[in-house]
């Protein structure tokens, strides 16, 4: 059974840092490009970032460029999102996603507040 | 950035109705468009990929069409479990962009 399980969300102060993880199982993780998508409270879905299958190529939304870093460890079947210099507008549920047959995780909530 | 404009933003319909949702792109995205269904507290579920291909396991009452800048998602006969929010996603040009969503509610 395919599973994508996010973790690492929580409450963080403005200007702080947080690292999200997404543990993948049930498929060959190293074959797939991976994405982070977020949904702010009461808002729609927003694509955040993408990494290719071997980690050599990354892309970001303008809203997070220079602050967030996507990475992966194919030996651990895990995707990461390092979030630095967070802002109130980064408050959202963060999903990892394959944009393929293997779907999305359930999401992990991040709240940026003092 | 490519803007994806979905219409309508909300829709009230009855079980058995035929429903069409439209997504217009501000630039040509070829067939690089997917449709997702999202229910509160759940992971978004892909229904259609590359504009017109039905995701495995998705009922055949869902269909997608279009290319370039105009795309449609059609539900031929609404079922109770179809009431949700629907999003289009263009994945042809970075940054990828979603439509603003269409909330489908029970009349």
Compute the distance between CA of residue B71 and CA of residue B51 in angstroms, rounded to an integer.
Answer: 7
Confidence of residue A111 (pLDDT cuts 50, 70, 90): very high
Compute the nearest-CA separation of B94 from chain A (Å): 8
Q: Are A68 and A82 in contact, with CB atoms under 8 Å apart?
A: yes
Cβ-nearest to A101 among B56, B87, B94? B56
Chain B contact for A107 (CB, 8 A cutoff) = yes
Q: Locate the chain A residue with the closest alpha carbon to B86.
A: A44
Bridge partner list, A108: A94
pLDDT at A105: 96
Residue at token pair 């210099």: A85
Whether omega for the bond prior to residue A2 falls within 30 degrees of 0, making it cis, is: no
Question: Taking 90 as the threshold, does the pLDDT of residue B107 lie above it?
Answer: no
Q: Are B56 and A101 in contact, with CB atoms under 8 Å apart?
A: yes
pLDDT tens digits for A5-41? 999 999 999 999 999 999 999 999 999 999 999 999 9
């Amino acid at each position: 059974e395919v599973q994508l399980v996010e973790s690492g969300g929580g409450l963080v102060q403005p200007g702080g840092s947080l690292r999200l993880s997404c543990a993948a199982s049930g498929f060959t993780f190293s074959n797939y490009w991976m994405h982070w998508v977020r949904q702010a409270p009461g808002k729609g879905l927003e694509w955040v970032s993408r990494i290719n299958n071997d980690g050599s190529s990354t892309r970001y939304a303008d809203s997070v460029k220079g602050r967030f870093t996507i990475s992966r460890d194919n030996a651990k079947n895990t995707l990461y999102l390092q979030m630095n210099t967070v802002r109130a507008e980064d408050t959202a549920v963060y999903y990892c996603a394959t944009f393929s047959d293997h779907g999305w995780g359930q999401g992990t909530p991040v709240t940026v507040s003092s | 950035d490519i803007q994806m404009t979905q219409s309508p933003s909300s829709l009230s319909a009855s079980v058995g109705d035929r429903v069409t949702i439209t997504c217009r792109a501000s630039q040509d995205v070829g067939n690089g468009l997917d449709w997702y269904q999202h229910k509160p507290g759940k992971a978004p579920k892909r229904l259609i990929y590359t504009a017109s291909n039905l995701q495995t396991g998705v009922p055949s009452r869902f269909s997608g069409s279009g290319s370039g800048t105009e795309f449609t998602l059609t539900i031929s006969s609404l079922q109770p479990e179809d009431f949700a929010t629907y999003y289009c996603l263009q994945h042809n040009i970075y940054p990828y962009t979603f439509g603003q969503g269409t909330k489908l509610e029970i009349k």
